[in-house]
């Protein structure tokens, strides 16, 4: 697997909750310019549909070990929470896009392991 880390995340939207496979890429891993998360299987969500044409910048809040991504004009909200001991964090804004391989890219997003380890 190399430098990227596979993890499972729970994606909660207005349509319900699903557990999806994701990959965390730290900065420099596979030429990543920033820490980010690639989520597989999120194609049936509003987040994927809005990001598909050309990507967009959304507000992000770190809460309870996960991140809350919001689109304020439409009033849409998605909560991404890792399944397990890890915790995600973000700053005020994140860029969301759909990669060529169909993964949902969200960055910059950081990952903290067990007991605060990076």
Q: Which residue ranges of the chain lie beneath pLDDT 50? A: 115-116, 118
Can you give the pLDDT at residue 115? 45
Can you give the pLDDT at residue 114? 63
- Is the bond into 30 cis (omega within 30 degrees of 0)? no
Name the pTM for this structure.
0.89
Can you give the pLDDT at residue 31? 77
Q: 13-18: which pairs have CB atoms within 8 A and are 24 or more residues apart?
A: 13/45, 13/46, 13/47, 13/76, 13/77, 13/78, 13/79, 14/46, 14/76, 14/77, 15/44, 15/45, 15/46
């Amino acid at each position: 697997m190399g430098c990227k880390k596979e993890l499972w995340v729970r994606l909660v939207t207005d349509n319900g909750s699903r557990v999806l496979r994701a990959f965390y890429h730290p900065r420099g891993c596979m030429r990543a310019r920033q820490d980010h998360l690639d989520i597989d299987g999120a194609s049936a969500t509003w987040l994927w549909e809005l990001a598909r044409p050309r990507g967009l910048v959304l507000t992000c809040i770190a809460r309870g070990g996960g991140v809350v991504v919001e689109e304020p004009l439409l009033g849409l909200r998605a909560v991404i929470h890792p399944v397990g001991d890890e915790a995600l964090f973000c700053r005020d804004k994140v860029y969301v896009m759909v990669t060529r391989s169909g993964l949902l890219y969200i960055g910059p997003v950081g990952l903290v392991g067990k007991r605060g380890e990076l």
